[in-house]
A and B are shown apart, each in its own frame.
Chain A
């Protein structure tokens, strides 16, 4: 299917599009279409391996994403791409220009090897090593900002949080709700979108570096081919020829066997020393033989590391974009829609009646997506009844919290994590009493789950009846889920307020 294929351009476009769409306002009949589409997609690919969730979202995007959002997403990604191309071109021209300056030889003073190597090989390598060290430091602590900014990150964030809380304290309910939504969106951007954006920037920086060195190498080759270049080495410091020779030996070690012609010998080093005031023993005849060494040095210590770094960041960008597409609120909602609504709806009942009446039902076959269901508290509910409510195959359902001991909970949580890991496309659904507020006890269980399973953890509210306090609790739960994700440093837990379960379905008492 064409819609299931997308390159990284459309990946960026999908991510932008998902951040622009409000899935909460999608009408039920439209969602029904998504379900049918998801079902057809699964059936068409049943022979050729299952369709990944990412492919499903891609196909959904191509088919259902409203035109105006697609246009906006295209424009945004188009601009980003244009900026990348312009930066690449500018870097290329700058590299070529720098090479043009450094390799300029009008027959008087020969080209000095030392600044050429410094600018085109050692400096880019040093910068790359520094950035690698920087990544290493960054990976040892949480957060997305560079370490230097993290010192001020804490106080700034706590001030912003306090300001929002102060405003919330004085605001009416609708404003509170909006503030909570705003906070939630900010956390979503922070945890979900910031990582691919970071890698996108890094990828472009490395692209610029690679383009710069490509420009330099091509210009050098052009000069070597079209003009008669003379190289020398010259320094104000009293550097011995032997020392430089040793240095070149170390540098050329990686290619000494493969390209021996790109290794300089001691005589050549001695013969090409150049003093401005007194040309000394400088021998013009030997001076052209430096170029293969310079070329290889720039290639191996400048170009290759940059190109590798570019490939690495590009791969990371692709990975994190894919993760972000699936982890984003909109993305996970879309998947939820396509893999059947989690909770049985009235429409399904209608379809069941239609099937009983002999009318060909429109309902998709039962979802192949598995789930592990954990009941947080919810005393009086029967886990075996959950299968009647969910449109997914429940492979494990247990009570946690409530009257359980910590040890019992721990065992159940580890079993859940293991089962979800062993089963493909398996979500962990945590059913919570929506009337109650989230607690530290639950947070600890979620941390344990997230630490032992990579599956999506979805918090699903169970209510006895819709009351005014549920709205207040939505803010409480949303805020807490944001905080949990912030503590994880990435989005692991989501709150699904679209699929609210009526507790009577789980108790049998209406």
Chain B
């Protein structure tokens, strides 16, 4: 056999296809809540790019076979036991005989599909749902059949709905499998996937080396994807800073109205560019998952200076205002020797507090308006605030961090609910300031490389430090 082959088996509706989807990130694997979604055995080869014979080509590293669930293991076991096995024969020969004898038999329609690839001396992965109770009478015969094959086998416990019965499953499977692992395809991480592959590599000496190679290649591939993501984010920042925004000058309107229109242009462009970037990043990870920012947060916060004020809520700001205003008022009252009867303390305290509610924080600060061009009769934006760049980087970092550990098995939309603290990117502030203002600085190779390195470094950090608040 040229590469490792694993046959994924188990009772119906226990997440065999989901497991394969998570391991291979193959979107063509059909996963449904209904039983009997998989009715025939189907191979899913896992391929990576390799230089083969002087050209880059896809190489199959290992194959996972998706199979239907066991539906009549008891009777199949009964027949095999009845036939008996000679000492000299490998049980697979008996299974082959069964496949020939019962070909097309409706009682064993699914067992025939399951054992077709197993008859080629593949390793067996038995998937079970450890959120359901372990009833030996329910699973005994399929486990006996797997044991009967004498092939290397591993059990993967999938806590679909919690791991309440994990221990009973562990003790129930011990006699039947060489190794037992817990793996949740929906909530797995990239490292977890590598760990499972590592466990597969220990099943047989023959496959240890190829699977270790796969693990190494996957790690390298991921590194490459991270670097590509850093490049994509840098490209987005430069695109946003590079864009020229202008509005036709209208003598009837005042400056503020022109600014509002300009800001809305910036908002629209930034949103669109970020959407495109998210899609590109998702594609780089080989996934087809939607990424969204929480609606309220998305519409308001990107241009809202509350973000820049370390995410203070309006009440928190009011409290600070009361304290600051009250403090100043108190100082005045003290200076007046108490003749003002604490009037300033009260007035400034209350006034400051109320101001937090009535004074709308303007997003206009992110836009520095430029001069009026009399020839074109247009007002244009001189430059965007570097903080806008920091915000965009922070958001896209979160997208990368979530997708890094996502598998195709989890198709739920990623919804990011909160911005990261801008202080996390403080070292980037001065660089972005220069790049936001000056086109020359923006296209300086040195600055570009510096920005890329910084983003890449952050993306690598984010792999291990969970900062993302997303569902």
**A residues apposed to B, CB below 8 Å:** 168-169, 173, 176, 377-380, 399, 401-403, 405-406, 433, 435-441, 444, 464, 467-469, 472-473, 475-476, 479, 503
CA of A439 to CA of B132, assembled, Å: 17
Closest to A380 in B: B135
Closest to A436 in B: B138
Closest to B136 in A: A379
Closest to A476 in B: B35
Q: Which of B26-34, B53-61, B336-344, B389-397 contacts A (4 or more CB under 8 A)?
A: B26-34
Partner of B107, one of A380, A438, A444: A444
The answer to whether A469 and B160 touch (CB under 8 A), given A439-B71, A479-B34, is: yes
* CB-CB contacts below 8 Å: B77-131 with A: 78, 106-107, 109-110, 131
Closest to B132 in A: A435
The answer to whether A406 and B135 touch (CB under 8 A), given A168-B32, A440-B110, is: no
- For B294, what are the chain A residues with a Cβ–Cβ distance below 8 Å? none
Q: Are B138 and A406 in contact (CB-based, < 8 A)?
A: no
How near does chain B come to A250, taking the closest CB pair, in angstroms?
52
Since A441-B71, A464-B132 are in contact, a sample of 4 more A-B pairs with Cβ atoms closer than 8 Å, ordered by chain A residue number, is A377-B138, A378-B137, A436-B11, A469-B161
Partner of A468, one of B34, B109, B138, B161: B161
Q: Are B135 and A379 in contact (CB-based, < 8 A)?
A: yes
How near does chain B come to A124, taking the closest CB pair, in angstroms?
45
- For B135, what are the chain A residues with a Cβ–Cβ distance below 8 Å? 377-380, 433, 436
Residue pairs across A and B with Cβ atoms less than 8 A apart, 16 shown, are A377-B135, A380-B137, A401-B74, A401-B137, A403-B137, A403-B140, A406-B74, A406-B78, A435-B132, A436-B135, A436-B138, A437-B35, A441-B74, A464-B132, A476-B13, A479-B34
Partner of A437, one of B13, B107, B140: B13
Q: Are B131 and A169 in contact (CB-based, < 8 A)?
A: no
* B75: Cβ under 8 A from any A Cβ: yes
- For A169, what are the chain B residues with a Cβ–Cβ distance below 8 Å? 30, 32
CA of A377 to CA of B136, assembled, Å: 9
Partner of B12, one of A403, A437, A464, A468: A437
- For B70, what are the chain A residues with a Cβ–Cβ distance below 8 Å? 439
CA of A274 to CA of B149, assembled, Å: 91
- Interface size grouping (class) on chain B: 20 to 34
- For B216, what are the chain A residues with a Cβ–Cβ distance below 8 Å? none
- For B11, what are the chain A residues with a Cβ–Cβ distance below 8 Å? 436-437
Q: Are B109 and A438 in contact (CB-based, < 8 A)?
A: no
CA of A405 to CA of B81, assembled, Å: 12
- For A436, what are the chain B residues with a Cβ–Cβ distance below 8 Å? 11-12, 132, 135, 138
The answer to whether A379 and B34 touch (CB under 8 A), given A439-B71, A440-B110, is: no
* B69: Cβ under 8 A from any A Cβ: yes
Q: Are A168 and B137 in contact (CB-based, < 8 A)?
A: no
How near does chain B come to A504, taking the closest CB pair, in angstroms?
11
How near does chain B come to A171, taking the closest CB pair, in angstroms?
10
- For A403, what are the chain B residues with a Cβ–Cβ distance below 8 Å? 136-137, 140
Q: Are B33 and A173 in contact (CB-based, < 8 A)?
A: yes
Partner of B132, one of A379, A438, A469: A469
* B72: Cβ under 8 A from any A Cβ: yes
**Closest CB pairs A-B (n = 3):** A379-B137, A402-B137, A437-B35
Q: Are A440 and B109 in contact (CB-based, < 8 A)?
A: yes
* B370: Cβ under 8 A from any A Cβ: no
CA of A378 to CA of B133, assembled, Å: 10
- For A405, what are the chain B residues with a Cβ–Cβ distance below 8 Å? 78
Complex interface bits, B133-158 against A, C-beta within 8 A gives 1, otherwise 0: 10111101000000000000000000
The answer to whether A467 and B74 touch (CB under 8 A), given A379-B138, A439-B12, A475-B34, is: no
How near does chain B come to A472, taking the closest CB pair, in angstroms?
4
CA of A436 to CA of B12, assembled, Å: 8
CA of A469 to CA of B158, assembled, Å: 14
The answer to whether A168 and B12 touch (CB under 8 A), given A379-B136, A402-B138, A406-B75, is: no
Of listed A173, A399, A441, residue having the most chain B CB within 10 A: A441
- For A468, what are the chain B residues with a Cβ–Cβ distance below 8 Å? 161
- For B136, what are the chain A residues with a Cβ–Cβ distance below 8 Å? 379, 403
- For A437, what are the chain B residues with a Cβ–Cβ distance below 8 Å? 11-13, 35-36, 69
How near does chain B come to A226, taking the closest CB pair, in angstroms?
70
How near does chain A come to B38, taking the closest CB pair, in angstroms?
12
How near does chain B come to A165, taking the closest CB pair, in angstroms?
8
How near does chain B come to A293, taking the closest CB pair, in angstroms?
60
- For B131, what are the chain A residues with a Cβ–Cβ distance below 8 Å? 467, 469
Closest to B79 in A: A406
- For A173, what are the chain B residues with a Cβ–Cβ distance below 8 Å? 33
The answer to whether A438 and B35 touch (CB under 8 A), given A378-B135, A433-B135, A468-B161, is: yes
- For A399, what are the chain B residues with a Cβ–Cβ distance below 8 Å? 137
Q: Are B72 and A439 in contact (CB-based, < 8 A)?
A: yes
- For A378, what are the chain B residues with a Cβ–Cβ distance below 8 Å? 135, 137
Closest to B32 in A: A169
- For B12, what are the chain A residues with a Cβ–Cβ distance below 8 Å? 436-437, 439
Closest to B164 in A: A465
The answer to whether A440 and B71 touch (CB under 8 A), given A378-B135, A433-B135, A433-B138, is: yes
Q: Are B33 and A475 in contact (CB-based, < 8 A)?
A: yes
- For B109, what are the chain A residues with a Cβ–Cβ distance below 8 Å? 440
Closest to A503 in B: B133
Complex interface bits, B154-198 against A, C-beta within 8 A gives 1, otherwise 0: 000000110000000000000000000000000000000000000
CA of A252 to CA of B416, assembled, Å: 93
CA of A437 to CA of B13, assembled, Å: 7
Q: Are A441 and B132 in contact (CB-based, < 8 A)?
A: no
Q: Are A441 and B72 in contact (CB-based, < 8 A)?
A: yes
Of listed B12, B33, B106, residue having the most chain A CB within 10 A: B33
Of listed B11, B34, B72, residue having the most chain A CB within 10 A: B34
How near does chain A come to B159, taking the closest CB pair, in angstroms?
12
How near does chain A come to B236, taking the closest CB pair, in angstroms?
32
The answer to whether A467 and B71 touch (CB under 8 A), given A173-B33, A379-B135, A433-B138, is: no
Partner of B33, one of A401, A435, A439, A472: A472
CA of A476 to CA of B13, assembled, Å: 10
How near does chain B come to A384, taking the closest CB pair, in angstroms?
17
* CB-CB contacts below 8 Å: B1-44 with A: 11-13, 30, 32-36
- For A435, what are the chain B residues with a Cβ–Cβ distance below 8 Å? 132-133
- For B138, what are the chain A residues with a Cβ–Cβ distance below 8 Å? 377, 379, 402, 433, 436
Closest to A375 in B: B137
Closest to A475 in B: B34
CA of A54 to CA of B32, assembled, Å: 41
CA of A476 to CA of B71, assembled, Å: 14
CA of A129 to CA of B69, assembled, Å: 51
How near does chain A come to B443, taking the closest CB pair, in angstroms?
47
How near does chain A come to B68, taking the closest CB pair, in angstroms?
10
- For A473, what are the chain B residues with a Cβ–Cβ distance below 8 Å? 13, 35
- For A476, what are the chain B residues with a Cβ–Cβ distance below 8 Å? 13, 34-36
Partner of B34, one of A441, A444, A472, A503: A472
CA of A436 to CA of B109, assembled, Å: 19
How near does chain B come to A180, taking the closest CB pair, in angstroms?
9
- For A168, what are the chain B residues with a Cβ–Cβ distance below 8 Å? 32, 34
CA of A476 to CA of B78, assembled, Å: 27
Q: Are A464 and B133 in contact (CB-based, < 8 A)?
A: yes
CA of A436 to CA of B73, assembled, Å: 15
Closest to A442 in B: B71
CA of A456 to CA of B33, assembled, Å: 30
